[in-house]
Structure formats: C-alpha cells, structure tokens
Amino acid sequence: MVLTALETAAYAVDEQGCIIAVNALAERLLARAATELVGHDAHDLLHRDAHGQPLPRAQCAMRPAFLAGRTAQADREWFARGDGSPLPISWLTSPLNLRGSGDHERATLVIFHTPEVVESPSRPSGQVAQPLPELERLALLAETTTQLTSTLDADETVHRLVSLVVPRLADWVVVDLIRERDEVWRVVVAHAENGAVTYHEDLQGPMPPVPQHSSMPLSRALRGAASTLTSPQTYQKPPDSGITAEQRRLFETTGIHSAAIAPLRSTREVLGAVTLGRSQTPQPFTPADLALLEDIARRAGLALDNARLYQRQRAVAETMQRHLLPQLPQVPGLQMTARYLPAPDASQVGGDWYDAFTLADGATALAVGDVVGHDLDAAAGMAQLRNILRAYAWAQQEPPSHIVKRLDQAVTHIADVPMATMIFGRIEEMGSGRWHLSWTNAGHPPPLLVTQEGLAHYLSDGHGVLLGTGTDQSRPDAVASLPPGSTLLLYTDGLIEAPGRSLDEGLHRLRRHAAALVHRPLPAFTDQLLHRVRPTDNDDDIVLFALRTPTAA
C-alpha cells in the first residue's frame, strides 16, 4: 500500500470508518501498535476534544468528508495516544481507489502530524514540521500513486495524470510521448478554467524529432536529461529545432508565462515529458513546485511503462491467437460461423479456441476448448492442442472419445499444456437430409441444440474429465440426431460465467436467448446472442461456434 512510502504518519479507513492499514510513523506518533488500530473504528478510538474526552460524531469534521468521498483538512484537533493522553494534530484526508487490491474498493487516506514535531526518518528528531501544504503534497503523491497504478490502459493513465495536476498545480498541462521508432507525439494539451478541463486538439499531434544536442528545456527533458523551470523569454531567440519552434508556438497560443517541465521515465527508457503551465495564475513556478512535478512524473512514468508493457504483451497474444484460429471449411448443406472475443482490457488474453475441418472419411470435425491460463503460454498451448488434435483426428478413423484419449496422453507427456477442457465431435450426413452428431466432452460446458421451432436443450451426455489430470480413464461417446434447420452451439465458459451469478443461471440465460433468436440468419443470430448473453463484467475470453443444418425440403 502507499502508506509505507509516505514520510508522515498515515492510516487508511474503509467506507464505514474502520482502520484497514497504518504505517510505522502513525504507530510511533500514536504510541499504539498496528494490532491496536487495524479493525477499530477510527473516530471512536482516536478522536478526542482538547480535554481528552471522546468527541461526539456530530462535531467530527473528518467523518462527513470520508463518507462523501471528498478531501478535507483541519489545523488543530486531537487524537488519543495509547496512554490516553491527547495528541494535538493537523490532518488531511484524501479518497483512495483500491480497486483490485482486495475486499475494499474505496477507502480514505488520513495523513496527520503534530504542529510541534514531525516524525519522519528523513528529518532529524525535533525538527519543526512543514506547514500544511506539505500534507497536501503528500496527499497528492499518494493519490497519484493509487490513481495511476490502478489502470493498465496507457491513454487512461495520461488522462488521470491530467486530472491530478490541473487545476491544483497549473492552468495548463502538456504531455509529449515518445512512441515507437522514436516518434514524438503531443498527446495532450489541456486547459483548466472555471472548474472545467478543455482539450485543445489543434495543439496536439505529431512533433518534430528530438534533437540530440539542443539545450532547450523540452528537448533536454525528452532526452531524459533534466527537469527545468522556464518561461516565454527562453524562446525569444531563433529556434534551434522544430521542437523548440512548436514549444514557442505553445507559449504564444496559450499565454503561459511560467512553466515547469519534467521527463517521464521508466526504469528502462525515456517515455516522454510533461509540461505544467500557468497563464491565469500570477505566481510563477518555484523550485519546490519543480520537485513536486518530478515526484509526480516519476510515478507517472512507471505507471505508463507498466501500461505499455501490458498492452504490448496483450496485443502480441491476441494477434497470435487470432492468426492461429482457423478459417471454417465450406461443407455442402451446413452453415457454420464462429466468434472470438478477447477479454476486456482489464484482463489478459486466454487460451479459448475453436476448430472445424474435414476428415479423411468425409465427415466434419468440430472442436471448442479452453486451455487453463490467461497469458501467452495459454495462447501457445491452444495452438499445440489444436495441431495435435488435427493430426490424430485425420490419421485415426476412430470415435471422438478415442481421439481425445490419445490427445490427453499427448498433453501429459509432450505438450506444454497444464490443463484444458474441450468438446470434440464429428458430424456427418446420414442421407435423406438427416445429420448425425457424435461427440465426447472433456470437462467443458455442454453443447446447446436449438430446433427450428425454438425448442432448446443441452446435450449433457458424453461427459468426462478435463485434459491434463494424468488419469487414464476411458472416455464416453454420445450421439444425437440434428433435426432439419436446427442450430448447434459450442462455446467457452466466459459466455455463461460471471461474478455473483451461478452457472445454472448462465446456462438458463443462454438457452432462453438462443431459443428466442433461432429464427434469425446464422451470422445475425450469433452476433445478437453474444450481445445479449455476454456478461457485462466478464473478465475472460469467449468463443462461440454455431452450426446450422439445412431445413427440410
């Protein structure tokens, strides 16, 4: 948590005001161990009046602030130390977003110090505390950390950075990012006025290349050289590069009279630069402001780098998976369509896959599966599984259960697949417009068969254990006749599973909507079914494979 990085006493409370975390400086200042603080109502445990008596909740200025999720501060109040003595303190609260960090999605950070002494390892004991703006600085840095690290989307990271610094620190914020092949792009020029933030797209866009020897502030920042305070006077001379000319145009257009520029760095490279500008605010930036911007830029650089790395890996995995998924064969009389949807951007790509191909005896093989995992390994395992299955199914004229049993042995001994579920079947015409399906199910959700009249039922037979368990059990086969004009659905669990909803509810939802939509052409049926059934809070990949037999003559 961010509390350990703060140089002043701090604790965090949940939505009800119970303490959920505390740092060592707060323990020392309050003379209480963390075990005496965590889990207790902060108001009841700590808040006192000047005489050390419990403070009525109606008189508490802090509680309404965290209940409303807003920032608040007070100069002179009292906390109770472990021995019962009142401790004079100044405090500041700031909302914390802890999404993805455990049971608490929203919390409040409370930063406090005594007006006489600040307990911090970076200052000698007994040194006079920094004034209240120091608390605001620490609260802003804490908020920066939580806001920027709680997303893995690079564009969202930049926009959160904008909301953090304007209008609190500046009237203008400009973000220049270095993209692939060292191209510089001015991704944001934003202006705060009357409480609203306006983005100036006319000032955004591609920038000239970074000059290697320019001593101008932005050029140096984009090389990672230094942070700088600057003003329009710096750009009065003829520009030494295209970037300098663009920066002079920025000052002239916006009316910025004072600016602070800092590089955005990761641990590996320079990612860009952030510029704060003041036009309406009369006070120029100071070295203290520049130090704060450097702290913010350091956190923003790490968050932006993490987002870029995540998106790069995700793009590679998704591209790999899409290229590995096959084109469906043309089978006279049968309609087939398939959809693959990657997981939302909050999750990694997984190992969901489908396949359909013609066998040596003229039958058509069908498969849908899911390799355990959500990463490149799962996508690569999916490719291995599919290729081995194709080879066995083509070479061995055997029932689906025998093919899958051989595949399971391969998964255990020669493939890099930990575990997987799948359905493998074969469909063939039996004459007179009748189609016959045989299949085996290795731990996968059951196929759904919907007749032309809208009767829908799951094919629950042929169910066996998933692949990769190491057991050598025999696998069952199942058979079914597919009525004329019927639709067969194979899918992965991302279509029916969602937090807070049972599997039976997901299966019922799929069956109900499939029956309602079955009269539509197969591509429209598939798209609408995904739109209606896919959980809004889905965090998994989805494969949906649909097959339709010809209607009766």
What are the residue ranges spanned by the domains of the chain?
2-132, 154-314, 325-548
C-alpha radius of gyration, the chain, whole number: 31
- How do residues 246-272 score in pLDDT, each as one tens digit? 999 999 999 999 999 999 998 888 999
- pLDDT of 349 reads 56
DSSP letters of 265-277?
A: E-SSSEEEEEEEE
pTM: 0.53
**Averaged pLDDT, 212-216:** 89
Q: How far apart are CA 105 and CA 110, in angstroms?
A: 16
State the pLDDT confidence band at 194, using cuts at 50, 70 and 90.
confident
Q: How far apart are CA 128 and CA 143, in angstroms?
A: 25
Q: How far apart are CA 316 and CA 305, in angstroms?
A: 17
State the pLDDT confidence band at 116, using cuts at 50, 70 and 90.
very low
- How do residues 475-511 score in pLDDT, each as one tens digit? 999 999 999 999 999 999 999 988 888 899 999 999 9
For 68, 77, 95, 537, the CA distances from 106, given in Å and listed in that order, are: 11, 25, 7, 18
- pLDDT of 515 reads 97
CATH tag for 2-132 (out of 3.40.50.10880, 3.30.450.20, 3.30.230.70, 3.40.50.720): 3.30.450.20
3-state helix, strand, coil in the chain (%, to 5): 35, 30, 35
Could you say which architecture CATH assigns to the domain 325-548? Answer: 4-Layer Sandwich (3.60)
Which has the higher per-residue pLDDT, 299 or 107?
Answer: 299
Q: Are 197 and 166 in contact (CB under 8 A)?
A: yes
CA nearest neighbour of 379 among 406, 416, 414, 346: 416
154-314 has the same fold as 2-132? yes
Asked if residue 516 has pLDDT above 90, the reply is yes
Q: Which residues 6+ apart lie within 8 Å of 104 measured at CB? A: 14, 15, 20, 98
Asked if residue 100 has pLDDT above 60, the reply is no
CATH number of 154-314: 3.30.450.40
Q: How far apart are CA 424 and CA 403, in angstroms?
A: 9
